[in-house]
Structure 1
Amino acid sequence: MADLVLFGDVLTMDESLPQATAVAVADGRILAVGSDADVAPHIGPATVVHDVGDGCILPGFIEAHGHPLNEAVVLGEPVVDIRPVTIADADGVLAAIERAVAECGPEGALLNGWDPLLQKGLPEPTLQWLDGISPAAPLVILHNSGHAAYFNSAAAVAAGITRDTPDPEGAKFGRDDAGELDGVAYEMAAVLAVAGRVLSLDPAGFPALLAAECARMNAAGVTTVSEMAFDPAMRPALAAAVEAGVLTTRLRLYEMSDVSRASDVEPGAGDDLVRQVGIKIWSDGSPWIGNIALSFPYLDTPATRALGMACSHGHANYTGKQIREISTPYFDRGWQIACHAHGDEAITMVLDAWEKMLGDDPRPDHRLRLEHVGAMRPDQFARAAALGVTCSLFVDHLYYWGDVLVDDLFGSDHGGHWAAAGSALAAGHRISFHNDGPVTPTNPIRNIADAVTRRSRSGHVLAPDERIPVQAALRAQTVDAAWQLFSEDSIGTLVPGSHADLVVLSANPLTVEPDELENLEVRATVFAGRAVFGSL
């Protein structure tokens, strides 16, 4: 007999039975899906039965490119949240920095979310400015993209970073003409060198932080999320969280590449709750700080001039030779590889490197991944598809930075076609969407709306020819995201035997008007057959 039976509109995301009116759950798995009559025999005296009314039941959403372990720390104490989604204006940000410095004590202050493109009027965060705000205690401000950090002299001393500290691979510390530190760290390895003292995971306190992170995910309807910057040093804290039973999302781990070019586990290590499936590498950085490799220039605007990237084509952080040298040892050991690549020149570089690697070592189902792919062109989507390379798109850029992309950075031709989901589908891709938390809050519903409408916060529509159907957008947050994570056998669809991870929305996404998609609400989230958000 079933533990739980739900009646209502059911979108299974299974092509053999796309829609149903009832679903039965037993022992954390889907027992039956079909008509009311098909499911009724599974109802027993102890079965909880619920009719969702005008709601709609779908597989739990999947965040295919997230950072939940890192976000759990960044959104917890003592880090101060100054992201644009929290503080919209420059005056509010500056006031928050002053308060943090006044209250921090000798340990210093760490703030996350600096974004001068959205928080108009922020000053340039020079070393002199930072030292003036906090002359004695460490002060570190993380850029909202995660690709840069600004730090004062006391923070450099606390981190043991000097003018003689070598740049990490693929990252660097900014220096002035005399070779002295200028207070900027670029890319993950350098950012962690500056801020890692505060951002490290403590096994004693981490379970509570991860529980709060899972609650945020569940409230958005998410039941599986990838960690795209996993560090093996996180294993003790993660194990403590698993032991404490706080996980209400499944985790798929992508370990950051390092100079050893090896992991301490084999591909697929773990279980259906926590599994390591891939390796994360980077080719370039963030469009918001100018270090993505482009075939076209940034515009010459007040915004680009203020950030020092007017008329620049940006740059990559690695060469094609380095991409191949990093990828090949992991690939030879059977790993899936996911590469951060925003600029079209960076994407060409990665595809060139991977095409050579695949020529030397063909693998029929490798599912190599390109991440974010903001400036990816139609011909590049076609080339990637021919190589078996799949793509995960950061479509929420369109909502938050759509106007910035067109008006401040790239113009309508290049900025308007950012995150070109329509071109990806036309090339035959199975794509996923993501929020890259904490860059933007995890919100699959808005991702779906973004891809269907391509509407910015101001209401402007970017490249309407790149809009996609609602059904395709739903797949990008469910079954196709599961496929990218090598997990389609157990999540992403509502079929007998799959995990009973599901979400109940306030209406059927296939029947609401496209402009109303963003107003859909998560009424309940079920993880392994148990309600973890809302009530049933």
Structure 2
Amino acid sequence: MNLMATILLMVLLSSCGQSSDEATSIDAASNGSTGSSPDSVADIIFLGDNIITMDDSQVNAVAVIGDYIAETGDTETILKLRGPDTRVIELGERALLPGFIDAHGHFIGVAQNIDILDFSSPPVGSIESIDDIVAAIREHIEDQQIPAGQWIYGFGYDDSLLAENRHPNRDDLDRASSNHPIVLKHVSGHLRAVNSLALTKVNITAQSENPEGGIIRRREGSREPDGVMEETAMRAFPWISQEIGAQRKKQLIRIAMDIYAGYGITTVQDGGSAMGDIELLRDMANDAAFSLDVVAFPSINSLSDDTFDSLSYDTTYSGGFRVGGVKFMLDGSPQGRTAWLSEPYTAGPPGAAADYRAYANYSREAYESRVAIMIDRAIPILAHANGDAAIDMMIEGISKAVTGKVTPDHRSVIIHAQLMRADQLDRVKELGIVPSYYSVHPFFWGDWHRLSFGEQRAAFISPVKATIDRGIPFTIHNDSPVVPPDIMRLIWVTVNRVTRSGYVLGPDQRATVMEALHAVTLGAAYQYFEEDEKGSITPGKRADFVILQENPLNVDVMTLADIPIVETFSRGISVFIKQ
């Protein structure tokens, strides 16, 4: 069963009732009540010795009233808040933590991908070769009786894991169908593979020039497109987002919210949002409040000056939604070998020159101009920068924007920050920049990075420990839908840095379990300017929780990814129960 089928089944089952795996609940009505007044009666009380507050306090009881944590402390004190309708949850060996916070991802992408073909390789999916991709497309067309001329979309193929060790090209996809235009998005989201009919539909030919910030890959020894598009060259092709109707998209958004809740996540990010999706999310939240918090960051790169000038952001949620700032895209991806480096790749893409460093996909002038305006308007900034040259560009833009001013608490975020150098970390600290590391990479692509960047650079991918040693606030993320929004696996990789082959990539950059937990709770809340509202089990903060089957501080660190999510609470309401 592939990833999306599995998580959709999980969501369906989660609505069917409570299982024996759930944390034990006591019927408070049969056990009396010691609440002192109606105003002090708890809606939920958690009891247990495995409560990880993330605020340095050690408690064994937590009381929730409405959306907020009312009180924490010892069992005797907290049980005084029990009323006839209080749900009392005895945790036993299970652990209670603050709800996980998605520091970066593409929520709308997760929603949209539910309706398209999944070409993920193990352990996420089952695709192992280009022949598997071709067969899956043929089967889909036949099973769904898709008429000729209708576009076919798929996501998740990974050339580094395919038997052929390359991207599918137009000839491969022509074998799947010459009567349907086909567009497949690479797992990184930074490349697409298309067939000949798709090229014809958008009029990309041997005479077509590369767009700024992108490349049309060519057949060897020719200018004829080979069907692989990098970065901005992808924009010539339609995508599923342009074909899903508003009602279906709303359904998919609600389903995706349940998927995230199943991973213990209570705050979700849509990074690089389309303006139309922001309006849709806002309208949905106003009609019926979201079960989780959703924070959107509109994509800056392609906005017109008029739209850019009208940008604003929300400091508070309305119906569980707010615009949290803006997002810049400065380069590509290391797994796609389009991350922009200051020194050449050890092994670049096929046909690359010996001095290949990739490239920026946004002009320095436009970035520096717009980032200065955002800083002046106190609008939070995310900037996608994987390669160290892109990170230099990000840092320099922030430095110029704040120089000569009373430095604001801007908390500008370097998204991914994979090939961060040690000297860059020192500037990051000086400028108050927050790195958000794509620290699941050592497992998924660590072996690939050793080939692409050489041992020394690969070992410093996502340098979490060097960041901690400098006292720099940081977060970690999955960048879903690139990989599933599985926070426990993210923690496992951050703590162990084990590749698919079992190699430990940069052992000196491993975090402790508590450091990794901080990055997805209180650290992530800080990134969002929400540390006073979320991220720890502290009286007065939001009642966002996750119950884990085991205490992650007490298990073998190699088993962290296997700890099940038992239940998730958002604003004091149970939004997921494990079956």
* CA displacement at 1:444 relative to structure 2: 1.2
Distance 1:307-1:462 versus aligned 2 partners, 3 A rule: farther
Distance 1:164-1:196 versus aligned 2 partners, 3 A rule: farther
* CA displacement at 1:401 relative to structure 2: 1.1
Map of 1:267 onto structure 2 = 313
Contact 1:201 1:237 in 2 (8 A): no
Match of 1:83 among 97, 120, 131: 120
Which has the higher mean CA deviation after the structures are superposed, 225-234 or 174-183? 174-183
Contact 2:154 2:185 in 1 (8 A): yes
Count, aligned residues: 527
AA aligned to 1:280 is K
Tell me, in whole angstroms, the C-alpha distance in 1 between the residues paired with 2:401 and 2:556. Answer: 45
* CA displacement at 1:256 relative to structure 2: 0.3
In the TM superposition, what whole-angstrom CA distance separates every residue of 1:253-278 from its partner, at most 9, and x where no partner exists? 11100343516442226516111111
* CA displacement at 1:174 relative to structure 2: 4.8
Contact 1:14 1:495 in 2 (8 A): yes
Contact 1:206 1:237 in 2 (8 A): no
C-alpha RMSD of the superposition: 2.6
Contact 2:372 2:400 in 1 (8 A): no
In the TM superposition, what whole-angstrom CA distance separates every residue of 1:19-60 from its partner, at most 9, and x where no partner exists? 311111111211111111231111111101110110110100
The DSSP-based 3-state class of the residue aligned with 1:499 is coil
Contact 1:405 1:415 in 2 (8 A): yes
Match of 1:38 among 54, 73, 77: 77
Map of 1:382 onto structure 2 = 426
Establish whether residue 368 from structure 1 lines up as the match of residue 405 from structure 2. no
Contact 1:56 1:505 in 2 (8 A): yes
Map of 1:105 onto structure 2 = 147
> Mapping of 1:177-326 within 5 angstroms?
182-187=226-231, 190-196=233-239, 198-199=241-242, 202-242=245-285, 245=288, 247-257=290-300, 258-261=302-305, 262=308, 264-268=310-314, 271=317, 273-300=320-347, 304=348, 306=350, 308=352, 312-326=356-370
Tell me, in whole angstroms, the C-alpha distance in 2 between the residues paired with 1:332 and 1:492. Answer: 28
Contact 1:62 1:478 in 2 (8 A): yes
Match of 2:60 among 11, 18, 21: 21
Tell me, in whole angstroms, the C-alpha distance in 2 between the residues paired with 1:329 and 1:357. Answer: 8
Map of 2:51 onto structure 1 = 10
Question: Structure 2 length normalisation: TM-score?
Answer: 0.85
Tell me, in whole angstroms, the C-alpha distance in 2 between the residues paired with 1:309 and 1:335. Answer: 40
Map of 1:423 onto structure 2 = 466
Establish whether residue 144 from structure 1 lines up as the match of residue 187 from structure 2. yes
Match of 1:127 among 170, 176, 179: 170
Tell me, in whole angstroms, the C-alpha distance in 1 between the residues paired with 2:90 and 2:224. Answer: 66
Contact 1:100 1:109 in 2 (8 A): no
Structure 2 gaps, min length 5: 1-40
Q: From the CA coordinates, give the structure whose radius of gyration is larger.
A: 2
Match of 2:390 among 346, 355, 372: 346
Tell me, in whole angstroms, the C-alpha distance in 2 between the residues paired with 1:263 and 1:193. Answer: 26
Which has the higher mean CA deviation after the structures are superposed, 272-281 or 201-210? 201-210
Structure 1 gaps, min length 5: none
Identity of aligned residues (%): 31
In the TM superposition, what whole-angstrom CA distance separates every residue of 1:479-525 from its partner, at most 9, and x where no partner exists? 11011012222111111221111000112222223222222211111
Map of 1:463 onto structure 2 = 506
Contact 1:159 1:197 in 2 (8 A): no
Question: Structure 1 length normalisation: TM-score?
Answer: 0.91
AA aligned to 1:14 is D
Distance 1:161-1:25 versus aligned 2 partners, 3 A rule: farther
AA aligned to 2:147 is G
Establish whether residue 337 from structure 1 lines up as the match of residue 411 from structure 2. no
* CA displacement at 1:157 relative to structure 2: 5.0
